[in-house]
Every structure is written in structure tokens, then in C-alpha cells.
Amino acid sequence: MTILLDGTLGITTPGLTNTGTETIVDLTTTGNTTLGDATTDTLTVGVTGIVKDASGNVGIGTTSATTIGTANGWPGLVVGSGTGAWGATIYSGSASNGGLAFANGTTTTATYNGYVSYNHNTNAMTFATNAGTERMRIDSSGNVGIGNTTPSSFDATGKPLVVGSGSGNQGMTLYAGTSSSASINFAKSTSGSDRYIGQIEYAMGDNSMRLYTNATERMRIDSSGFTYINCTSSVGSVSAYSNILFSGLSYFGIAIKTSYASAGSTFAAFINSAGTTQGSIYANATNTVQFLTSSDYRLKENIAPMTGALAKVSALKPVTYNWKSDGSASQGFIAHELAEVSPECVGGEKDAVDANGNPKYQGVDTSFLVATLTAAIQEQQALIQSLTTRLTALENK
């Protein structure tokens, strides 16, 4: 049967064929009635109003339901002609739900294996998959919950987007190209650098994590775990796991404060690969700082009085010099010369360079000379005392 816009139709029923047009007033049948073309199994209501093809595809406002449904892999219902504005409305009660269900069966959850639902009572939109399990919700305030049904319950600073149910592992992945970046931007307007005034960025090209404030990079962790604060590369001539660039005119490089005032606090501890503390920076309750090197007797063995200290001191070569960097005068030791007499006072190797040919300069810690100098003074005092005793004996003769 073809129903035209003027209300006329053609009817085909068992045993009856009407190839003309008639006006429908009342149609009552007791058997099967076919509306449309019995030969092609199609139905057209109006010129392009509602069209049903032989495959069961239905078009509203289009005669191309078969073509479109086959091309996009979703045969069934096509709405619109491809020109102008089109849409579909699900009209429900003010306290009811309106929804669109995706079924793969005719019983239990198979009838709504996936769905999109709008609750007019709470004004929330929900999305479900796998036997109707809710996966995402947009509440009446626009808060989005992914794997969470109550995004509005969280703090105002974070509830616009809540990910996770609070049980098991949860997370979010940003998937970028191998030479691109994945970022989370913090914006305060839609113009200029205000669009990314704060940023957390992972650069896939060099596998570095970068943190920005005021649209400027402030910290970087590179692929080897080296950290850079206010700089993007090593601040010295050698590689260091932590690099900090700062203006000493206005700021401290590092400030550490303890809230424990009744006794001293350890501000930094230096621990070897075996887990043993080798030294620390310690502040006591009298506002003084101690730079400590481990010296506990429980860490030592083969303890014996020092001998030959005076000879060792005599072998030292103290010098005066000027620093090449600014010409300032100073005094002390040349590292490799000191190492020949007291190697425990020196770090590094003479003329060492890194993999890039940059110098790896030696350094000294003259605090290790204290014991030698103390023993030398004791030896010298013993010698003086011996000479004094002999001189006194000679004078008394």
C-alpha cells in the first residue's frame, strides 16, 4: 500500500488487489494485511515522509535508508534528508526516564545490554554497557563521573570530572604520538598563554616529564631520572641527578624548616648502598648546624693510636693561590698533592673527565686532617716536653 499526502492509498490484501487509490476511512481485517508494495515489500508514507525498504530499514525524511544503513553498518533507522536541521525526541514524564537501549536478546539484561538514559527526576544522563552496568554519568550540574555515580559528592575543585569508583586500581591514560606530547593544561581564559597558564606535560620525544607555572617550565625529570628545577639541563660541567638554578641575590637555593623544637633535627642524611648512614646535616636546639660524618665505634675495628703524624704533617704542601673564575686569593692544598699524603681527604681522580670530555674536578675535605694535626701536636708536645726536661736537667748541673 502507498499512502500519499492527499490521504489516498493503494491496498493489497489476500485475495484483493487494488491498484488505484482510495481514501482510508476504516480498515478492518481478520487475516494478514500488507500495507505497501507486496512485490517489493516496501512502504512509503508521503513522498519522503516515512519509507520502509525490503530489508526492514526505515527512513524518516529520506528515501536512502538502505544505502545509508548498509554503508555505515547500522541498518535499521535513518532520520533526516542530509539537508537542514533534523533530530529525534524522546518525550517522557517529568519524573520518569527517557532512554535508548541496545539489545542482543529478548530476555533479562539482554534487552538493555547497553543504554543511554535521561532521568527527568534528577536531570542526570547515564551511559551503560555490558548488561546495563553504568559506566558514565553527567549530573544536573554538569559534573562527570567515569566509573563513578556520585561526582557531585566530591570537593568543588575536583568534582567537574571524577574518575574511579574508590575500589581497586583506577587511572586515566593520555595517548599521544611517539614524537608528540601529552598534556594536562590549566587555563584561566581562552586567549594567549592564559589557555595553558599551568601545565603538566610528558614529551614522548625525549621521555621527559615537565611542570609549568605562569606558562613557563619550572621543573623537568628526564628519561634517566635526572631532575632540573628552573633549568632544563645540567647547571654544571658534570651530570648531576638534581640540578637547581636560582638567584642567590634574592632567594635561598634550598630552605628546610623543622617544627620539632624541643631537640635537634637531622635535616639531611647521607646513606650508602648498604643502607648505613655515612653522614648528616644536623641542627641542635641552640641554633647551630653540625656537618656530621659517621664515627661511631660500632662501625670501626682495628682501632689503634696514630703514629708518624708529625712526619705526615711535614710532608703536606700548603699553598696560596688565585681562583681562575674571579681572580680572588685563597689558601689551601692542591688536591692531588694532598692525596699523596692523606688520600682520605680527597675525592675524585687527577685529570679525570666525563663521557663528554668535560673535566671532573677533584675536591678536598680538610676536616679529615684534624686527627692527623691533633696527633702531630701531641707528638710535637711530647718532643718539646722531652727537650724541656733534658734542658732543665742540664741547667741544674
Residue 151 sits in the same domain as residue 133: yes
pLDDT above 90: percentage of residues in the chain? 63
**Residue 82 contacts by C-beta under 8 Å, 6 or more apart in sequence?**
62
Give the pTM: 0.74
Q: Does a structural domain hold residue 74? A: yes
Residue that is written with C-alpha cell 553504568 in the block:
134
- Pick from 50-64, 119-133, 331-345: least confident: 50-64
Q: What's the pLDDT at 26?
A: 58
- In a domain, residue 294? The reply is yes
Residue 38: predicted pLDDT: 64
Residues 11 and 75 in one domain: yes
What confidence score (pLDDT) does residue 25 get?
52
Within 10 A of 175 (CB to CB), how many other CB atoms are there? 6
Q: What is the rounded CA–CA span in Å between residue 357 and residue 366?
A: 28
Q: Convert the pLDDT of each residue in 264-276 to its tens digit.
A: 889 999 999 999 8
The CA-to-CA distance between both ends of the chain, in Å, stands at: 153
Helix (H, G, I), strand (E, B) or coil at 66: helix
Q: What is the mean pLDDT of residues 39-64?
A: 79
CB distance 144 to 137 below 8 Å: yes
Whether the per-residue pLDDT at 35 is higher than 70: the answer is: no
Least confident of 18-22, 200-204, 289-293, 387-391: 18-22
Task: Give residue-wise pLDDT tens across range 331-378.
Answer: 999 999 999 999 999 999 999 998 888 888 999 999 999 999 999 999
Length of the chain counted residue by residue: 397
**Cβ contacts of 230 within 8 Å, gap of 6 or more:** 218, 219, 244, 245, 246
Q: Do 13 and 55 belong to one domain?
A: yes
How far apart are alpha carbons 158 and 104 in whole angstroms? 37
In a domain, 217, yes or no: yes
* Pairing status of strand 161-163 against strand 144-146: parallel
- Asked whether residue 55 is assigned to any structural domain, the reply reads yes
How far apart CA 164 and CA 144 sit, in angstroms, is 11
**293 in a structural domain:** yes
> What does the alpha-carbon distance between residue 9 and residue 289 come to, in Å, rounded to a whole number?
102
Rg (alpha carbons) of the chain, rounded to whole number: 43
Is residue 18 one of the residues assigned to a domain?
A: yes
Whether residue 158 lies inside any domain: the answer is yes
Written as nine digits, the cell of 58 is 526505515
Indicate the pLDDT class of residue 125, thresholds 50, 70 and 90: very high
Residue 246 has which C-alpha cell? 636560582
Considering the domain architecture, whether residues 59 and 121 belong to the same structural domain is answered as no
| pLDDT grade for 3, boundaries at 50, 70 and 90 | very low
CB 285 within 8 A of CB 261: yes
Domain contains 176 = no
Q: How many domains does the chain have?
A: 5
Q: pLDDT tens-digit profile of 206-234?
A: 999 999 999 999 999 999 999 999 999 98
Residue 338 domain boundaries: 309-375
